[in-house]
Amino acid sequence: MHSSQLPDRLVGKIYDTALEPRLWPELLEHMVTYLKPNIEVGEQGKINTNLIWVKEPKEEVPSSYTQLLEHMQRSSDIAKRLGVVKEKECIQRKLLNQIPLPCVLLRADKQIVEINDSAMRYMSTNRELSVNGSHLTFESGRLRAEFESGMASLFFPGQKNKEIAFVVRPSFDTNPTTINLTRVDNLQGLESHVLMFIATVDQAQKVDVSSFSTRFKLTQAEQEILKSLVEGKTLQLVAAHKKVSIHTVRSQLKSIFGKTGCHRQSELVKLVLLQSTQQERQQKEKQNIILLDAQCFHQTMLLPDGRKLGYSDVGNKSHAPLVMLHPSTGSRLQQHPNKQIAFEQRVRVISIDRPGYGLSDTCEGASLKSVAKDVGYLMDSLNIQRFAVAGFCGGGPYALAVAAQFRHRVVHTNLISSVTPFQEINLLHGVKTTNKMMAHLALKAPEVLRHLIFLIAKNVVDEPERYFDQVIEHLGVSDASVLQEPEALENFVVAFQEAMRQGSAAFVHDLYTLSNPWETDYSAITSPITMWHGHEDRHVPIQYAQQLAHVLSNVTIKNQPQHGHFLIYYLWGDILAESAAAFEQDEQIESA
């Protein structure tokens, strides 16, 4: 380094990134500029013709890295504390956004805590109510007086009534509107707050009252009353509209209470609104079942040393088993959007979380060999004797380690856009100028890198669109097209979120492992190896894949001129078919 004192601009950018994680690309550039004289140009190790690494002597870590570590640690601590606050706000916002009605969460002093999207849309098109700083503003003195009176009465000592409603627009208006104030206690750790609902006919039309009525076996008359209540009408207005007595309406409401288990009118309305939102959620879950419901994506087993191993198991149990090793930015949830392909190709896809990723416990000193052993234990627990293995990107070296360690059990090996030992390991897309610096930190100061990755990961998880917008600029047409597919992009984000479930330490360790000598005996591999690599791969250039193919035995390299790094999304069916064919051939040999 130039001096023992870090430049003020670098220190400032470290703390700026804690407050605004989206600034991480600028922080990386500052770090590259500062560390550049310390990053050697050339290979990090030498490779002989047998693909066996020859270690070079380790250099002493400069003492000035301690200063950098101190600032990075403080920065990530600040980001974590801010993250807790933002997470609490996010929980509140998500809670309110589950209700399709305009809704505002208020403190006892009438200050706004949170406001949902529906309320913001309502206020943008209606003049009666608006936001001024952290308070609500009412156009008319009458509404302001009713609001203030209602808030005061809800917090009056000994007040048992927790709900108050008042009319914004009368029933004869084109869009009748009612405001409901409900005192809530212990909402996500909050006490003595008020939920303000704005009930309008426009909003009520979006609520599916009919399915709710069918579920609880409501009569037609009861359904009509319920619809009116959701629209914000009072019982008196309902009675007048139906031309029946208020006693009749109350009797029918009592019948609705008995069928639904509700005790108050507001409780009933909220139940209808929440069910409507739940139906929308269920529809989304059906479209993306991998994220929430399917148990096959969230399996665990106990390893002999007491660690938990997380894995997904997708496909028919009688089909050819394929163990999938995820990329360094992924997890067991890195899945092709079309799950039907695995069934069509008669392949059972089993994806594991490496130590520290997703559901898997950490493992001190985890290595290519130790991960391979974990795969063996999993296969034993599933009573699988013979299996194929595949590795995507950073998962490639682990796939080779499994094939070498279980030479008599692995029937086929797929390397898909795999990293190689001939290049600087590049685990983050779109940050090419800093890959060497990150590999350098992984070897020299992994704790510095761990805090740096935390800041990067925080922004990728919080604002994935911003990250992938930057990534697309560095991709070819084929890869950019993948990231423009909503299902594929969503899976990237979900898999990355799961990868960072326990923090960034596993990701950093992966970079450290792949930047160090791999020490796998590749001559032990007896299975056929198929390498899938795109000419347009700007993440792992194809010349490195070709170089790797020349030093491995029994290799078929399938060059894809029109594809790039994400060719797996285009060729998933072909990849599975290759493994299925190898498995079928192996069974024929075994039975001969």
DSSP-assigned letters across all residues of 40-106: -SS-SSEE-TT--EEPPPPPPPPTTHHHHHHHHHHHHHHHHHHHHHHHHHHHHHHHHHTSSS-EEEE
Q: What is the pLDDT of residue 431?
A: 43
* CATH number, domain with residue 571: 3.40.50.1820
pLDDT confidence tier of residue 51, bands split at 50, 70 and 90:
very low
For 508-533, the pLDDT digits (tens) are 889 888 888 888 999 999 999 999 99
Question: At what angle are helices 486-499 and 464-472 packed, to 10 degrees?
Answer: 120
* CATH number, domain with residue 218: 1.10.10.10
Does 126 map to a domain?
yes
Which among 442, 422, 397 has a CA at the least distance from the CA of 541? 422
Q: What's phi and psi for 56, nearest 5 deg?
A: -105, 155
397 and 540 inside one domain? yes
Q: For the residues 268-277, what does the mean pLDDT come to?
A: 68
Q: Write the DSSP assignment of 448-483 as a string of letters.
A: HHHHHHHHHHHHHHH-HHHHHHHHHTTS-HHHHHHH
Rounded (10°) CA dihedral 280, 282, 288, 291:
120
Does 113 map to a domain?
yes
110 and 78 inside one domain? no
Distance CA 352, CA 311 (A): 4
Least confidently predicted of 430-439, 442-451, 507-516: 430-439
pLDDT at 151 over 80: yes
440 and 571 inside one domain? no
DSSP state of 362: P
156 and 261 inside one domain? no
pLDDT at 134 over 50: yes
85 and 115 inside one domain? no
Which among 94, 38, 97, 96 has a CA at the least distance from the CA of 64? 38
Q: What is the pLDDT of residue 425?
A: 55
Does 480 map to a domain?
no
Least confidently predicted of 53-67, 124-138, 160-174: 53-67
Q: What is the mean pLDDT of the chain?
A: 81
pLDDT confidence tier of residue 256, bands split at 50, 70 and 90:
very high
Q: What is the pLDDT of residue 430?
A: 44
529 and 416 inside one domain? yes
119 and 139 inside one domain? yes
Selected residue with higher pLDDT from 81 and 214: 214
Distance CA 400, CA 120 (A): 54
pLDDT confidence tier of residue 45, bands split at 50, 70 and 90:
very low
Residue 350 in contact with residue 324, Cβ under 8 Å? yes
Q: Write the DSSP assignment of 301-331 as a string of letters.
A: EE-TTS-EEEEEEES-TTSEEEEEEPPTT--
Distance CA 146, CA 144 (A): 6
450 and 362 inside one domain? no
Amino acid, res. 404:
A
The CB density around residue 556, as the number of other CB atoms within 10 Å, is 11
Structural domain for 11, as ranges: 1-38+61-99+430-474
Q: What is the pLDDT of residue 197?
A: 82
Domain end position, chosen among 178, 200, 222: 200
Question: At what angle are helices 435-444 and 505-515 packed, to 10 degrees?
Answer: 90
Does 123 map to a domain?
yes
Q: What's phi and psi for 309, nearest 5 deg?
A: -115, 125
414 and 446 inside one domain? no
Q: What is the pLDDT of residue 551?
A: 86
Q: Tokens for 284?
A: 């989304």
Does 313 map to a domain?
yes
Selected residue with higher pLDDT from 356 and 180: 356
pLDDT confidence tier of residue 287, bands split at 50, 70 and 90:
very low
Residue 378 in contact with residue 313, Cβ under 8 Å? no
Least confidently predicted of 142-151, 170-179, 248-257, 526-535: 170-179
pLDDT at 201 over 60: no
Domain end position, chosen among 200, 222, 251: 200
533 and 405 inside one domain? yes
pTM of the model: 0.63
333 and 364 inside one domain? yes
Selected residue with higher pLDDT from 45 and 421: 421
Does 120 map to a domain?
yes
Which among 317, 407, 421, 298 has a CA at the least distance from the CA of 360? 298
Residue 118 in contact with residue 103, Cβ under 8 Å? yes
Which among 342, 347, 373, 356 has a CA at the least distance from the CA of 310? 356
pLDDT confidence tier of residue 145, bands split at 50, 70 and 90:
very high
For 529-559, the pLDDT digits (tens) are 999 999 999 888 899 999 999 889 999 999 9
How many domains, the chain? 4
Does 324 map to a domain?
yes
pLDDT confidence tier of residue 20, bands split at 50, 70 and 90:
confident
Report the residue count for the chain: 592
Q: What is the pLDDT of residue 376?
A: 98
Q: For the residues 566-579, what does the mean pLDDT come to?
A: 96
Domain end position, chosen among 243, 276, 309: 276
Q: What is the pLDDT of residue 322?
A: 98
232 and 336 inside one domain? no
Q: Tokens for 498?
A: 């799961």
Selected residue with higher pLDDT from 455 and 560: 560
pLDDT confidence tier of residue 303, bands split at 50, 70 and 90:
very high
Q: For the residues 21-45, what does the mean pLDDT come to?
A: 66
- Report the share of the chain in percent with pLDDT over 70: 79
* CATH number, domain with residue 185: 3.30.450.20
Distance CA 9, CA 409 (A): 55
Does 437 map to a domain?
yes
